[in-house]
Homo-oligomer: A and B are copies of this chain.
């Protein structure tokens, strides 16, 4: 089963094949380097060739050809993932979906599109055609694709209202091509969606997506400053519980994140101030202002609809979710991060416990998220990185305290998730990718069903650095 890369590449040479070596290298990488752990392991990873199918028929051709020649295929949306999800650990083919960016249909409450469209272009299309937008998006809205979001993301801006991508109703339908001698085209809905959503393209390639839509309002973006962290957290959570105030975003930044890492915000907040970022529907602004006036110490420092800042901060969501990490990294390259679930009803107590133990080595960055109908927090904590051992120690302390960690310093589905295989994904991989050629090395259960998770998994097929 040795891959015959040259034969596959030759057979696909009539397609849109990337010629430039530097582009091949760039298209083999994602934002894995946010993690010093992944950076140490994946920096050399590179595909043998990159092909960009123009439609589903060409996807089928790529998959069938690579199947015939035993060549691994790693699918790429825009490569903005953080865990090396889109990186071809065993080399072979990167299938880049940039050409598959058509919108097929927009209806009240739903859109059908190809996977390679950028989130921002999808939103622009839906807004122009129907005054609608997608319910939620990763903060990489401007650069990421909807297919990558569905296959590699979890939620984001909008999740304070709609929950996560995996929640029932947040994806309607996926059309999927398998990697077999003769690839099959399948349509998944309902319970079947879990087979391939957030499966990193390890068991099928999504060629069409039907997503629910919500109204596209001219969201008002705000920063609200607080002298202390706890009232900032209470305020954001309280807003998340106001059923009549329509939010798209509610984020908490522990001091001094805003002051130290948000350049344009810095003149407007003191070092000791914690900050809340919000996106609020215009019709909910009166409610928001009333709620804010009820909150002692809340000070609105920025309103996008009435700003006097000399330098506008840009879109506020680009301070939130994993953009917070990005901004911190730019100022202090020793910063990395953790992904934490602070579950209802202990979320606030848990945050305070972790804070007492680790601040300022770990600074709290919280996203209000709905889970099972309750507002709670997704933490994307900023961590001052020293050593891998210390990072592991911090992870363990979170877990001991009862905060679940989705470790962003791992490249496998299991380690970045709940440390166990998703049986539906594994079962579907057996059916849809019998040779195990799709994005190899990302599903431990496929490679090593008895893996114990005691240490970081190291994919044996990881191609060595040259």
A243-B286 in contact (CB<8A): no
The answer to whether the Cβ of A293 comes within 8 Å of any Cβ in the partner chain is yes
Q: A109-B283, A135-B244, A169-B284 are in contact. List 4 more A-B contacts (CB 8 A).
A: A108-B217, A109-B217, A241-B374, A345-B345
Report Cα–Cα, A34/B412, bound state, in Å. Answer: 63
Report Cα–Cα, A135/B283, bound state, in Å. Answer: 12
Which residues of B are found within 8 Å of A375, using beta-carbon distances?
A: 373
A:129-145 near B, CB below 8 Å: 131, 135
Nearest to A216 among chain B residues (CB) is: B108
B245-A168 in contact (CB<8A): yes
Option from B161, B172, B190, B289 in Cβ contact (under 8 Å) with A243: B161
Interface size class of A (residues with CB under 8 A): 35 or more
The answer to whether the Cβ of A167 comes within 8 Å of any Cβ in the partner chain is yes
Which residues of B are found within 8 Å of A22, using beta-carbon distances?
A: none
The answer to whether the Cβ of A162 comes within 8 Å of any Cβ in the partner chain is yes
A244-B170 in contact (CB<8A): yes
Q: Quote the shortest CB–CB distance from A295 to chain B (angstroms).
A: 12
Report Cα–Cα, A169/B131, bound state, in Å. Answer: 21
Given contacts A168-B291, A169-B286, contact A108 B240 (CB under 8 A): no
Which residues of B are found within 8 Å of A168, using beta-carbon distances?
A: 242, 244-245, 287, 290-291
Q: Mark A272-311, 1 if CB is under 8 A from B, else 0.
A: 0000000001111011111101100000000000000000
Q: Quote the shortest CB–CB distance from A424 to chain B (angstroms).
A: 13
Given contacts A243-B167, A373-B240, A373-B242, contact A172 B108 (CB under 8 A): no
Given contacts A108-B215, A290-B191, contact A244 B283 (CB under 8 A): no
The answer to whether the Cβ of A52 comes within 8 Å of any Cβ in the partner chain is no
Option from B169, B170, B283, B371 in Cβ contact (under 8 Å) with A212: B283
The answer to whether the Cβ of A452 comes within 8 Å of any Cβ in the partner chain is no
Given contacts A241-B373, A244-B170, A373-B243, contact A282 B189 (CB under 8 A): no
Q: Quote the shortest CB–CB distance from A278 to chain B (angstroms).
A: 13
